Amino acid sequence: MNIDLKQFANLQKASKDSFFEQKKLLKQVMLGKTVLCSQCQQALTLYTPEQGELTGIRCAKGCTDIALDFA
């Protein structure tokens, strides 16, 4: 099996970027700011443990679905 190292590096960079993207997004939603889904442009909603079992940030359509651990 051949591993394309360049491709692998790109993949790592992408996931690192999206991690920071998610952190930034999370911070804004936590501050009560309206953040729109990058896919469907609908407002993202923060789901806290008080609202149910599935905690995280999601849009109405579900294309953005960031699971959060409120432990």
Count of positions on this chain that bind Zn ion (CB under 5 A): 7
For Zn ion, the binding residue among 23, 61, 65, 67 (CB under 5 A) is 61
CA angle at 39 for the pair 44 and 6, rounded to the nearest 5°:
120
By CB under 5 A, tell whether 44 contacts Zn ion.
Answer: no
Closer residue to Zn ion (CB): 11 or 60: 60
By CB under 5 A, tell whether 39 contacts Zn ion.
Answer: yes
CA angle at 70 for the pair 67 and 71, rounded to the nearest 5°:
125
CB atoms < 10 A from the CB of 19, how many? 10
By CB under 5 A, tell whether 43 contacts Zn ion.
Answer: no
